[in-house]
């Protein structure tokens, strides 16, 4: 059975990682991802609107606070980091159908013409590139474990060889393939489960699984991972993510990209990271702790975050990017 979910009402837990082998933690987190959890805790849609408005006092809309944002960016080079799912494309039931609109593609292309721009995604670089199709961007796939520069994915396909900028977990590739096959096999009897190979990590999707079977998904995944102490589990939007136990995440990827772009340790740089997922919190935190730039959380439900601002959904992300480009263009022409 495929459960219809209103992804806008999806609630995720605060950005803490679920420890492996703690069954209650898993199920608790999985339940909190249920669409009803947010609504029930907020009562009617009226009080829901009220709590969202109250929440935006703490995390102001990046559209309403746009003037304040550009004051911070005046005379600075803005580096843009964009998550993919739930940020540039709406959340949909089938991960392979999470296409990006042509309009959004054009907006991101325009942004990349003015600002160094990177996509930072849990998906493999190849998959996210197949959706985004823009050669002028940096791509940090597999939660930042696979970083490629402008043109490298496309040219690697043409030339039959990959141009790697950085891969943090190459030694894990055989293990990840093995675990992908095992997880596919061990969960195949559960209706609605989808196991996705994201090269340096594996996603176990339970979005289309009946809630009564969520525990089974968690148990089977946990059981497979018991034999792999060098892998750990994190939790995204109705997805369990298996990844290597290495000190690397989207935050580290942002730091790495800033270094590569020679934008680290520069006072005249303002990095902005836009994302919707718990894994994006690592990047929000890096920017917040360094007091360098800031994160913008994409969420239509109140949640705690290391981000400074918020946007409701991908359409607001598009509006924000358009305004940012217009402002950059005006700034460039007034400097002529």
Ligand X SMILES: O=P(O)(O)OC[C@H]1O[C@H](O[C@H]2O[C@H](CO)[C@@H](O)[C@H](O)[C@H]2O)[C@H](O)[C@@H](O)[C@@H]1O
Q: Which residues contact 194 (CB under 8 A, 6 or more apart)?
A: 94, 95, 204, 205, 207, 208
Residue from 11, 123, 220, 306 touching ligand X (CB under 6 A): that is 123
Selected range binding ligand X among 47-55, 117-125, 295-303, 321-329, rule: CB under 6 A: 117-125
Quick note: the x/- pattern for ligand X over 216-245, rule CB under 6 A, is: --------------------xxxx-x----
99 is a contact residue toward ligand X (CB under 6 A): no
Report, in Å, the least distance between residue 265 CB and ligand X.
Answer: 27
Whichever of 73 and 281 has its CB closer to ligand X, that residue is 281
> Does the annotation count 85 as an active-site position?
no
**Which residue, 88 or 269, has its beta carbon nearer to ligand X?**
88
Q: Which of 22-30, 63-71, 78-86, 288-296 is the region at the interface with ligand X (rule: CB under 6 A)? A: 78-86
Residue 11 makes contact with ligand X by CB under 6 A = no
CB of 206 to ligand X, least distance (A): 8
Backbone angles phi, psi at 39, to 5 degrees: -70, -40
If the CB atoms of residues 98 and 115 are measured against ligand X, the closer one turns out to be: 98
DSSP 270-332: EEEEEE-SGGGHHHHHHHHHHTS-EEEEE-SS----S-SEEESSHHHHHHHHHHHHHHHHHHH
For ligand X, the closer CB: 70 or 202: 202
Query: What number of H helices and E strands is found in the chain?
Result: 12, 12
Q: For helices 66-73 and 314-334, what crossing angle results, to 10°?
A: 50
From edge to edge, which strands make up the β-sheet containing 166-167? 166-167, 146-148, 138-141, 117-120, 77-82, 269-275, 294-298, 309-311
Among 60, 95, 150, 192, binds ligand X (CB under 6 A): 95
Q: Which of 102, 136, 144, 130 is nearest to 116 (CA)?
A: 136
Q: Is residue 146 a contact point for ligand X (CB under 6 A)?
A: no
For ligand X, the binding residue among 17, 98, 145, 286 (CB under 6 A) is 98
Q: Give yes or no for a contact between 303 and 33, defined as CB atoms under 8 angstroms apart.
A: no
274: closest CA among 9, 88, 114?
88
Q: Which of 83, 213, 277, 282 is catalytic?
A: 83
Smaller CB separation from ligand X, 205 or 285:
205
Order of strands across the sheet with 231-236? Answer: 194-197, 202-205, 239-244, 231-236
Minimum distance between the CB of residue 331 and ligand X, rounded to whole angstroms? 30
Q: Work out which of 110, 117, 203, 234 binds ligand X, going by CB under 6 A.
A: 203
Residues 2/238, Cβ–Cβ less than 8 Å? no
- Residue 196 found at the interface with ligand X (CB under 6 A): yes
Q: Which is nearer to ligand X, 116 or 236 (CB)?
A: 236
Q: Could you tell me if 117 and 111 are in contact, meaning their C-beta atoms sit under 8 angstroms apart?
A: yes
C-alpha radius of gyration, the chain, whole number: 20
- Which residues would be at the binding site for ligand X (CB under 6 A)? 83-86, 91-93, 95, 98, 121-123, 196, 198, 203, 205, 207, 236-239, 241, 277, 279
Which residues belong to the active site? 83
């Amino acid at each position: 059975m495929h459960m219809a979910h209103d992804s806008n009402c999806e609630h995720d837990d605060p950005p803490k990682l679920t420890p492996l082998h703690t069954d209650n933690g898993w199920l608790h987190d999985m339940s909190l991802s249920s669409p009803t959890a947010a609504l029930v805790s907020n009562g009617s849609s009226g009080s829901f609107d009220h709590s969202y408005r109250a929440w935006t006092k703490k995390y102001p809309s990046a559209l309403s606070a746009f003037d304040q944002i550009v004051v911070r960016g005046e005379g600075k080079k803005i580096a843009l980091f964009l998550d993919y799912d739930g940020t540039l494309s709406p959340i949909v039931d089938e991960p392979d159908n999470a296409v990006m609109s042509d309009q959004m593609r054009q907006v991101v292309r325009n942004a990349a013409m003015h600002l160094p721009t990177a996509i930072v995604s849990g998906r493999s670089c190849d998959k996210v590139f197949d959706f985004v199709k823009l050669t002028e961007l940096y791509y940090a796939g597999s939660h930042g474990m696979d970083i490629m520069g402008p043109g490298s994915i496309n040219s690697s396909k043409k030339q039959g060889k990959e141009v790697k900028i950085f891969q943090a977990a190459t030694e894990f590739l055989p293990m990840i393939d093995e675990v992908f096959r095992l997880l596919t096999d061990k969960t195949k009897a559960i209706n609605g489960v989808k196991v996705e190979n994201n090269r340096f990590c594996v996603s176990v999707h339970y979005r289309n699984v009946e809630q009564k079977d969520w525990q089974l998904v968690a148990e089977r995944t946990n059981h497979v991972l018991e034999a792999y102490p060098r892998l750990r589990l994190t939790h995204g939007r109705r997805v369990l993510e298996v990844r290597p136990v290495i000190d690397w995440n989207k935050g580290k990827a942002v730091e790495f990209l800033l270094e590569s772009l020679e934008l680290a340790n520069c006072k005249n740089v303002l990095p902005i990271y836009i994302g919707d997922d718990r894994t994006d919190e690592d990047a929000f935190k890096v920017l917040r702790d360094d007091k360098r730039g800031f994160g913008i959380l994409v969420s239509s439900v109140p949640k705690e975050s290391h981000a400074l601002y918020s946007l409701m959904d991908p359409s607001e992300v598009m509006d924000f990017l358009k305004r940012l480009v217009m402002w950059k263009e005006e700034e460039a022409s007034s400097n002529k």
